[in-house]
């Protein structure tokens, strides 16, 4: 497997090629969205794409879920390590959802990797990683909050060739067909991923044909060096020293106690070290996260506090070091379950965020909803009788900054470019009735600057029965405030039965619902920044006018600035 050697090139040509590679990643992203068959991909955009060089170094990554920021390059490096020289050939396509290898998420996230060759020389890899609606396992949607081992969560695909030198490996397709509940949609998403990779391949080869492989490889090297140089310049501006943060994960989802987590940050002139050595051991519940997920989470906050504006590549992360022992909830090993891995992975981001928020208040806010608030529902369409399944993340509130209120109705930090699945799509495709999707004004997030409001989303069951699964962390341990602000509110699931009874959950798997039952998904309001007594009268009046707070809340939480009556009208 030959590789071209970089050659010197002028700065302007290098810049043109670098920007073309970044644009190719964006074009791949659009191609996958347009050709996918599943709303979780074409509406919610729960996927990411990227390009690496021949060694697996991330060159560009299109918009998409930030949760995959540390995984595009690790995917490719694992393929190179497994197959080595001579076994990666033109026309190959690899597939994997290996939780414990470069994938490091859960089995629903399928990676598709394609090598790019020019005249027999390996130039690059094109990659996409997308959430499939179902990959088998004990629960429809391959999403459960009570699994105790990976084998319950779905079909496992180690890195294998699904297309070898342009020829389909029919046996792999047969295995997928036999293990997936909705194979037509999922295999459609597979071919959409292949098409997206080919778009990237076409753009890379056009550059190679125009400038030559040596020049393109040199431009890739220059892009990595640029990412490192710009990041180190920002690292030099950060406060130096040792910083700490602690928190609790609500529980493991199957009746366990709260789980303490912490981080020690050490920032020097040339290193940003995130040490999770105190992490608790992995658990017999699906909140475990694998090592590459740990690294990806740390990368997100590291990027936020250094230079979030430049395109992400491996060079940006060379100053970052992440430490954690094996077999913890952040570094799970087989056969630990990982279906709701994001619930733990998000704490990696949040702990670093919490440790640094008041150190770099121009970059970071107070705590936000944190949870993806992922939920899935299986049901029969009341009109067609067709069996249907949907999965989606939900929006909530972000924390206030030291100069403005928090954002309202936004996805958590893991989701990046994720979008809502429109109400119309939900109702038409799945037959569930959305009674309301609105900002709420539950207590929480008060401050000189307020946390953004969380949301209510009500699903009403119109068929005879349905089954709901959801995982909402921060039901017990609320978004953390800064500088005297108040905590945010809770994420939770509120089931309103047709017979008048009610139930509340943080995590639940396949709870049975009947016609007329309502599932109210409640997402958190972000935390506040600063003493609520310092909030201006004009801002409180605007809050009341918009319905962000009630008159009673204005009187109760902002009494230091005056009573509610002062702001009415």
Q: How many CA atoms lie within 13 A of 336 on its CB side?
A: 26
Measured in whole angstroms, the distance separating CA 477 from the mean position of its chain's CA atoms is 21
Backbone torsions φ then ψ of 19, nearest 5 degrees? -70, -35
Of 341, 330, 400, nearest to 371 by C-alpha is 341
Q: What pLDDT shows up at residue 399?
A: 98
Tell me the sheet residues that pair with 467: 378, 512
Closest to 286 measured CA to CA, from 471, 113, 421? 471
Cβ atoms of 74 and 125 closer than 8 Å? no
C-alpha atoms less than 13 angstroms from C-alpha of 508 in its C-beta half-sphere = 21
User: Could you tell me which residues are beta bridge partners of residue 167?
Assistant: 164
Q: pLDDT under 70 in the chain at which residues?
A: 1-9, 63, 69-70, 103-104, 560-569
Closest CA to 58 of 242, 377, 314: 314
Tell me the three state secondary structure of residue 560.
helix
For 221, what's the count of Cα atoms within 13 Å in the CB-facing half-sphere? Answer: 14
Residue 180 to residues 42, 134, 136, 156, 389, Cα–Cα distance (Å) = 20, 6, 5, 11, 12
State pTM to two decimals. Answer: 0.92
Q: Can you give the pLDDT at residue 103?
A: 66
| DSSP conformation class of 151 | G
DSSP state of 476: S
User: Do 296 and 335 form a contact (C-beta atoms < 8 A)?
Assistant: no
Q: In sequence order, which residues have a C-beta less than 8 Å from that of residue 531 and are 6 or more positions away?
A: 447, 448, 483, 484, 485, 560
Whether the Cβ atoms of residue 499 and residue 517 lie closer than 8 Å to each other:
no
Tokens describing residue 509:
């798997």
Q: What is the pLDDT of residue 565?
A: 55
């Amino acid at each position: 497997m030959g590789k071209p050697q970089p050659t010197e090139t002028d700065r302007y040509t290098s810049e043109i090629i670098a920007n073309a590679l970044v644009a190719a990643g964006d074009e791949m992203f659009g191609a996958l969205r347009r050709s996918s068959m599943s709303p979780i991909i074409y509406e919610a955009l729960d996927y990411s794409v990227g390009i690496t060089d021949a060694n697996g170094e991330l060159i560009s990554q299109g918009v998409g879920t930030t949760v995959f920021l540390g995984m595009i390059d690790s995917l490719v490096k694992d393929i190179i390590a497994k197959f080595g020289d001579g076994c990666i050939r033109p026309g190959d396509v690899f597939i994997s959802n290996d939780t414990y290898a470069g994938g490091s998420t859960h089995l629903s996230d399928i990676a598709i990797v394609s090598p790019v060759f020019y005249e027999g020389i390996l130039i690059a890899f094109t990659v996409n990683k997308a959430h499939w609606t179902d990959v088998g396992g004990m629960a429809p949607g391959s999403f459960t909050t009570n699994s105790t081992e990976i084998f319950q969560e779905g079909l496992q695909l180690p890195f294998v060739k699904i297309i070898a030198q342009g020829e389909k490996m029919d046996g792999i397709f047969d295995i997928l067909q036999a293990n997936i509940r909705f194979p037509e949609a999922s295999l459609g998403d597979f071919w959409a991923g292949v098409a997206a990779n080919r778009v990237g391949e076409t753009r890379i080869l056009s550059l190679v044909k125009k400038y030559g492989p040596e020049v393109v490889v040199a431009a890739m090297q220059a892009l990595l060096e640029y990412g490192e140089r710009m990041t180190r310049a920002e690292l030099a501006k950060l406060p130096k020293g040792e910083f700490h943060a602690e928190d609790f994960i609500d529980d493991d989802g199957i009746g366990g106690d709260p789980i303490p987590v912490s981080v020690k940050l050490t920032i020097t002139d040339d290193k940003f070290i995130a040490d999770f050595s105190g992490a608790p051991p992995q658990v017999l519940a699906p909140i475990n996260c694998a090592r590459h997920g740990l690294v990806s989470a740390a990368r997100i906050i590291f990027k936020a506090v250094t230079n979030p504006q430049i395109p992400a590549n491996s060079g940006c992360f060379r100053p970052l070091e992440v430490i954690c022992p094996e077999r913890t909830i952040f570094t799970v090993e087989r056969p630990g379950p990982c279906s709701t891995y994001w619930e733990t992975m998000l704490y990696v981001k949040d702990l670093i965020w919490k440790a640094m928020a008041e150190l770099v208040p121009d970059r970071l806010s107070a705590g936000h909803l944190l949870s993806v608030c992922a939920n899935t529902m299986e049901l029969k369409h009341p009109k067609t009788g067709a069996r249907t399944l949907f999965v989606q993340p939900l929006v909530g509130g972000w924390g206030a900054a030291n100069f403005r209120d928090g954002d309202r109705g936004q996805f958590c930090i893991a989701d990046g470019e994720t979008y809502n699945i429109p109400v119309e799509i939900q109702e038409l495709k799945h037959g569930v009735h959305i009674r309301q999707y609105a900002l709420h004004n539950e207590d929480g997030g008060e401050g000189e600057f307020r946390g953004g409001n969380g949301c209510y989303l009500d699903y009403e069951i119109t068929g005879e029965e349905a089954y709901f699964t959801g995982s909402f962390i921060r039901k017990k341990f609320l978004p953390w405030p800064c500088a005297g602000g108040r905590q945010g509110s809770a994420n939770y699931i509120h089931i309103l039965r047709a017979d008048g009874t009610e139930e509340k959950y943080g995590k639940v798997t396949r709870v049975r619902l009947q016609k007329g039952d309502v599932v109210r998904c409640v997402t958190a309001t972000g935390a506040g920044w600063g003493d609520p007594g310092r909030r201006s009268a004009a801002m409180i009046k605007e809050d009341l006018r918009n319905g962000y707070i009630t008159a009673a809340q204005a009187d109760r939480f902002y009494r230091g600035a005056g009573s509610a009556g002062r702001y009415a009208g």
